Amino acid sequence: MQTKLIHNTPTYIPPSIRPSPPVHQTPSLPPTKPRAISISAPTAPPVAVPIPPVLEPDDPMAAYYDYQFLFISQRSETTRPVNLCTVDGMIPVDFPSGTYYLTGPGLLTDDHGSTVHPLDGHGYLRAFTFDTVTQNVKYMAKYIKTEAQVEEHDPKTDKWKFTHRGPFSVLKGGKKIGNTKVMKNVANTSVLKWGEKLLCMWEGGEPYEIQTGTLDTIGRYNIIDGVDLEDHDENKGAADVWDVAANLLKPILYGVFKMPPRRLLSHYKVDSSKNRLLTVSCNAEDMLLPRSNFTFTEYDSNFNVVQRKNFRIPDHLMIHDWAFTETHYIVFANRIKLDVLGSMSAMYGMSPMISALRVNPSKSTSPIYLLPRLPDNGKERDWRVPIEAPSQLWVLHVGNAFEVRHAHGNFDIQIQAAACSYQWFNFSKLFGYDWQERKLDPSVMNVKGGSELLPHLVQVSIKLDSDYNCHECDVKPMIKKWKKSSDFPATNPSFSGKKNKYLYAATTMGSRKTLPSFPFDTVVKLDLETDSAQTWTVGSRRFIGEPIFVPKARARREDEGYLLVVEYAVSMHRCYLVILNPAKIGTDDALVARLEIPSHLNFPLGFHGFWAAN
């Protein structure tokens, strides 16, 4: 099938947009040649620093300025909803009423010289509420008042002092040696509205519950324990020698470092056909042991538990995202190993705690574990034996997974995901963060050496017989000619767990020589049936975050709805919420509306969002 590429780059800039001084001082620019620039915000009152003159997009000065701007802290919150101004297009009359929630780090630099990794930045929740009756969009943003946030922020003086290191950072102005405040639950990774609960989630602990109308923090929500349902244990007495090691580690991890016994993965799934929420938790000590315990829990629309299953995998894994189908939970074995020297350095506060772990590229294949979701029917294969995909992949995010049934009981499992190489993935350098210099270096995210090293979209196909035995496993690009750096794959949520025709992702056209791979500047729509790609690009010195699909009520087509994506116009110090028509991506009519966030409320790059219909 011939691949068809259609590109559309908007050139219209609304006349209301004018460059203006930022609220917080921007990072100083490199004098002549590229170098990493501190992401620190000033400790003094905000200083009006003029935006640099018009620069060519590939000017190294512009590239470094733009990259640092994406991670500038935002200390301001909104106590009341703010009406957003539509600066381009208009909100369609059939846009559903609801709220787009987006979380991510908001505060990265304190007033005592410490700068933390973006993954350790305090959670900052943004809410865009659509009222299609009045054609208004109201915006609110508040910090999630986690225990760490309350401890590290003085609301009277609006001063911050980091006391928790966080797994990815070290402190400059705080206590280093003997500082056991490591697990800094900042609730900054994902957000979920399920039943009557609005939850902000983090990778290492319990989520925080938020009041929907005000965005005030209610407190931690114990979603992991306290379930009135007997666990279904699939391990069948699989105790091993590592139980002794686990019992020795628990008093140290739980008592000294205050780690929760189990951590909830920040990525969840929604089974649209059964109207269920699916979550995964794992044991804290498994991060240091060559085994992995996973607990999968399913909830109905009222947050009642309907199923809970435990699995112990004999492998040392780091899981961020996962997949599900009608019959299985799917875990990609991102292999890790313990770094003894790194552990000692981390224990004494001389390096981030994550230095205790390294990727483990010991095998050329990628193990995939198919864990039974349904009760044992007597045909289930031994799930402890992984299926070996014939390439080495570190899976970052999953877009969708589904089953295709054939005659005689045979079936295929298709998985759509974003993956990178073990050679590129580095715990200590995610987003280009240099913990020694406390700076961001965009060259780490734009390393040369081929697109297969960087995050890219892949399709994993597994062929099983009626007894669940694997006959073939294949990994290939999502479409033949789309191999550009891409991440944050998304589908119409109505097709989650079902066969989908379209996949959307954040990507780059690679037109900037200085920032060819990241940050992303393009939304790509992949047609998996015609093997084609269509794109919408924001334009020069502008970047985007994760795209979110908003379905229309009573839609008849899979791409009938809208896409929401945040646009960061870094050269103008502006943030916008953009509405796209998925069916028209690749044409001049793809842009539906662009809404401007007030300049004093500009926010740094977000992570994951959620659309909650009214």
The answer to the question of whether 406 is labelled as a binding residue is: no
Global confidence as pTM: 0.89
* pLDDT digits 0-9 by tens, 398-416: 999 999 999 888 999 999 9
Residue 288 pLDDT level (bands cut at 50, 70, 90): confident
Token pair of 579 as six digits: 């509405």
The answer to the question of whether 456 is labelled as a binding residue is: no
Q: Which residue has the higher pLDDT, 189 or 354?
A: 189
**Which of the residue ranges 20-34, 151-165, 441-455 would you say has the lowest mean pLDDT?**
20-34
The answer to the question of whether 397 is labelled as a binding residue is: yes
Distance, CA of 444 to CA of 446 (rounded, Å):
5
Q: Which residue has the higher pLDDT, 164 or 451?
A: 164
* pLDDT digits 0-9 by tens, 295-331: 999 999 999 999 999 999 988 898 999 999 999 999 9
Half-sphere exposure of 195 (CA within 13 A, CB side): 12
> What's the rounded mean pLDDT across residues 482-489?
94
Quote the percentage of the chain above a pLDDT of 90.
59
Residues pairing with 603 in the sheet: none
DSSP string of 231-257?
-EE-SSS---THHHHHHHHHIIIIIIS
Token pair of 603 as six digits: 């926010």
Looking at the predicted structure, is the pLDDT value of residue 29 above 80?
A: no
**Neighbour count for residue 91 (Cβ, 10 Å):** 20
At residue 126, the pLDDT reads: 98
Cα angle vertex 402, ends 396, 408, to 5°?
Answer: 140
Q: Which residue has the higher pLDDT, 9 or 481?
A: 481
Q: What is the DSSP letter of 62?
A: H
At residue 513, the pLDDT reads: 87
**Which of the residue ranges 56-65, 212-221, 564-573 would you say has the lowest mean pLDDT?**
56-65
* pLDDT digits 0-9 by tens, 593-605: 999 999 999 999 9
At residue 248, the pLDDT reads: 64
Contact (CB, 8 A) for 547 and 47: no
Looking at the predicted structure, is the pLDDT value of residue 81 above 50?
A: yes
Looking at the predicted structure, is the pLDDT value of residue 505 above 50?
A: yes
* 3-class secondary-structure state, position 404: strand
The answer to the question of whether 316 is labelled as a binding residue is: no
